């Protein structure tokens, strides 16, 4: 029983991070139909910011966390302004290629600036210790990861459904031209979407380094791809879909491993992508257009 419980916690912890990253993918796709492949690499930058804030500058963990989230937000908006805004009326393919280019730029830039080796902050972890419940124990890092992601998702849902900016985001997502005619500032709304998506990536990066202690230049690429699969599975463009997709991928990876098929873990995840794209390209919740952001 305790084994099943431990694996369930593992699945939730992994799924929370995938869900947070998938949310960023989904929001950006929902508003400008762009698969922002640089999204995973923003997490990498956030992890480095946390690492240097903690180990080189010895900031308080809370300060480091805020700094990482703020830096990710600024980076996300900057990328949008520099790389995507000039291409807003260009074909979708140009945008996609630009996103891949930005992803390479960030990965190789990080290798140049931070070096190619993996940085580890295991000696001064962000969150340490674990909670014992009878014969099972949960690390505080796992507990906080799960809690923070659930809170972030609730906050995001409220933001999108209940606020004026959220309303603007939904309007732009539904019909950009009409929204503009109604007096909604396109630039402001899109930048705001990028800011929120990147802030979520920032939170994801902090949770990632809290659980896995390491920052490396290529860490965002696989994480980004898995989150992309999660977003597609849930229905890209849908906020609840991204959450469901993220947790589903975390669960699938853990179940496959627990079943003794760890060699097949990544294979199964990408097989899901293929099956979803073939059978139900809109994903689990993709149909409800009104829920697009």
Partner 1 sequence: MKKFLALLLAAAMTLALVACGGNNNAGNTGNAGDTGDSGDASGDTIKIALIANTTGDNAEYGISVRNGAMLYIDQLNANGGINGKQVKVLEYDDKGDGVEAVNAFNLAMEQGITAVIGSVLTGPTITLADATYEVNMPQISASATAQGVTQIDPDDESAGIRTNVFRSCFIDPFQGQTMAHYASDKLGATTAAILYESGSDYSEGCMNGFVEACEELNIEIVATEAFATGDKDFNAQMTKIAAADPDVVYMPFYYTEAGLAITQGRQAGLTATILGSDGFGSIKDYASAEDLEGTIYGSGYAPGTESVAQFEADYQDVYGEAVPNMFAPLAYDAAMLMCEGLKAAEEQGLTAGSDEYKQAVIDAISSMSGVEGITGSYTFDEYNNPEKSVAMIQLQGGEETFTEFYAFN
- Which residues of the shown chain bind partner 1 in the complex (CB under 8 A)? 3, 6-7, 10-11, 13-14, 118, 120, 122-123, 130, 137, 139, 208, 211-214, 216, 218-219, 221-222, 253-254, 257-258, 260, 262-263, 265-266
Indicate the SS3 state at residue 70.
helix
Q: How many residues does the chain have?
A: 293
Q: Which is nearer to partner 1, 32 or 209 (CB)?
A: 209
Q: Which is nearer to partner 1, 31 or 126 (CB)?
A: 126
Indicate the SS3 state at residue 181.
helix
Alpha carbons 185 and 145: distance in angstroms, whole number: 35
Distance of alpha carbon 283 from the chain centroid: 18
Alpha carbons 217 and 110: distance in angstroms, whole number: 5
Q: Which is nearer to partner 1, 49 or 156 (CB)?
A: 49
Alpha carbons 261 and 257: distance in angstroms, whole number: 5
Q: Which is nearer to partner 1, 27 or 272 (CB)?
A: 272
**What minimum distance in Å lies between the beta carbon of 21 and partner 1?**
13
| Residues paired with 130 in a beta bridge | 139
**What minimum distance in Å lies between the beta carbon of 252 and partner 1?**
11
**What minimum distance in Å lies between the beta carbon of 269 and partner 1?**
10
**What minimum distance in Å lies between the beta carbon of 84 and partner 1?**
27
Residue 237 sits at φ, ψ, to 5 deg, of: 105, -15
Report yes or no: 41 and 202 within 8 Å, Cβ to Cβ.
no
**What minimum distance in Å lies between the beta carbon of 284 and partner 1?**
23
**What minimum distance in Å lies between the beta carbon of 38 and partner 1?**
18
Q: Which is nearer to partner 1, 24 or 220 (CB)?
A: 220
Supply angle C-alpha 17, 265, 96, rounded to 5.
60
Cα dist from 126 to 97, 179, 284, whole Å:
36, 43, 35
Report yes or no: 71 and 49 within 8 Å, Cβ to Cβ.
yes
Report yes or no: 39 and 24 within 8 Å, Cβ to Cβ.
yes
Report yes or no: 207 and 16 within 8 Å, Cβ to Cβ.
yes
**What minimum distance in Å lies between the beta carbon of 153 and partner 1?**
20
Residues in contact with 9: Cβ distance below 8 Å, sequence separation at least 6, in sequence order: 138, 142, 146
**What minimum distance in Å lies between the beta carbon of 243 and partner 1?**
19
Q: Which is nearer to partner 1, 122 or 279 (CB)?
A: 122
Q: Which is nearer to partner 1, 73 or 254 (CB)?
A: 254
Task: Tell me which residue of 255, 229, 244, 224 sits closest to 284, measured CA to CA.
Answer: 244
Q: Which is nearer to partner 1, 157 or 257 (CB)?
A: 257
């Amino acid at each position: 029983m305790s084994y099943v419980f431990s694996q369930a916690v593992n699945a939730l912890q992994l799924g929370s991070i995938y869900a947070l990253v998938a949310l960023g993918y989904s929001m950006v796709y929902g508003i400008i139909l762009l698969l922002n492949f640089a999204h995973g690499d923003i997490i990498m930058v956030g992890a480095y910011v946390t690492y240097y804030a903690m180990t080189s500058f010895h900031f308080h963990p809370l300060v480091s966390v805020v700094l990482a989230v703020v830096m990710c937000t600024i980076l996300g908006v900057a990328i949008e302004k520099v790389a995507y805004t000039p291409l807003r009326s260009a074909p979708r393919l140009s945008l996609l290629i630009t996103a891949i280019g930005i992803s390479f730029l960030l990965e190789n830039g990080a290798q140049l600036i931070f070096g190619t080796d993996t940085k580890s902050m295991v000696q001064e972890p962000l969150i340490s210790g674990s909670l014992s419940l009878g014969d099972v124990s949960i690390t505080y890092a796992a507990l906080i990861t799960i809690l923070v992601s659930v809170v972030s998702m609730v906050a995001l849902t409220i933001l999108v459904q209940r606020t004026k900016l959220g309303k603007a985001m939904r309007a732009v997502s539904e019909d950009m031209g009409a929204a503009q005619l109604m007096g909604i500032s396109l630039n402001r709304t899109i930048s705001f979407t990028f800011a929120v998506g990147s802030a979520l990536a920032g939170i994801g990066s902090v949770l990632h380094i809290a659980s896995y202690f390491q920052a490396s230049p290529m860490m965002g690429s696989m994480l980004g791809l898995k989150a992309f699969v999660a977003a597609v599975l849930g229905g890209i463009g849908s906020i609840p879909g991204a959450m469901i997709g993220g947790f589903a991928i975390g669960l699938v990876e853990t179940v496959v491993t627990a079943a003794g098929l760890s060699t097949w873990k990544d294979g199964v995840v990408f097989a899901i992508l293929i099956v979803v794209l073939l059978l139900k390209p809109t994903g689990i919740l993709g149909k409800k257009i009104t829920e697009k952001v």
